[in-house]
């Protein structure tokens, strides 16, 4: 049963990683640049709005669902460590879980929460916004790269699983 389900699980995880990687790539490549071009008050307000809008069933379903699928892929890879593609499964799943999911929880959410509490009209808003832009975007580069590399690793693993299955 696991032999038939594992390539499907790996592919589903790969697609989720690719979708999330694409979202984070978009933020790294143009969304944050566009927000940085706005006056601080407007940029802060826009990012605060984005951080509220992102909490929705569609995004969270893919984001958290991919983390769950990645965890299952890691477990399956460890369970069948001797088989073709196992190390690539574990590596791909770990890239997403650590480089995307954990980085979001440990790094981005606290920054987003601090930004939510910031009054865009306060005296120190512009300085805090500049700090936020620099650190948040750097961390987002990590998330984007980890998710995209995870997708690639899981696609390779899926191919190896299919070849090994004959």
pLDDT-derived band at 95 (thresholds 50, 70, 90) equals very high
Q: What is the pLDDT averaged over residues 101-109? A: 98
pLDDT tens digits, one per residue of 44-63: 999 999 999 999 999 999 99
Q: Would you state the pLDDT for residue 164?
A: 67
What residue numbers bound the domain in which 150 lies?
A: 2-165
pLDDT at 11: 95
In this prediction the pTM is: 0.93
DSSP the chain: -HHHHHHHHHHHHHHHHHHHHHHHHHIIIIIHHHHHHS-HHHHHHHHHHHHHHT-SHHHHHHHHHHHHHHHHHHHHHHHTTTSTTHHHHHHHHHHHIIIIIIHIIIIIHHHHHHHHT--TTSTTHHHHHHHHHHHHHHHHHHHHHHHHHHHHHHHHHHHHHHHHH-
Structural domains of the chain, count = 1
- pLDDT classification of 83: cutoffs 50, 70, 90: confident
pLDDT at 84: 83
Mean pLDDT value across residues 80-109: 95
Confidence label for 85 from pLDDT (cuts 50, 70 and 90): confident
Mean pLDDT in residue range 111-125? 97
Local confidence band at 1 (pLDDT 50, 70, 90 cut-offs): low
Instruction: Provide the pLDDT for residue 77.
Output: 94
Query: What is the model's pLDDT at position 101?
Result: 98
């Amino acid at each position: 049963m696991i032999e038939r389900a594992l390539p499907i699980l790996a592919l589903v995880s790969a697609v989720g990683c690719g979708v999330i990687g694409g979202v984070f790539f978009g933020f790294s490549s143009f969304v944050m640049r566009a927000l940085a071009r706005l006056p601080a008050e407007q940029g802060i307000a826009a990012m605060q709005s984005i951080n509220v809008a992102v909490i929705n069933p569609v995004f969270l379903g893919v984001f958290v669902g991919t983390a769950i699928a990645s965890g299952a892929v890691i477990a399956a890879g460890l369970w069948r460590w001797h088989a073709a593609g196992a190390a690539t499964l574990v590596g791909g799943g770990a890239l997403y879980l650590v480089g995307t999911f954990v980085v979001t929880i440990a790094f981005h959410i606290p920054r987003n929460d601090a930004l939510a509490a910031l009054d865009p009209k306060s005296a120190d808003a512009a300085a805090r916004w500049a700090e936020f832009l620099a650190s948040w975007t750097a961390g987002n580069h990590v998330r984007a790269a980890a998710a995209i590399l995870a997708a690639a690793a899981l696609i390779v693993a899926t191919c190896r699983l299919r070849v090994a299955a004959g």
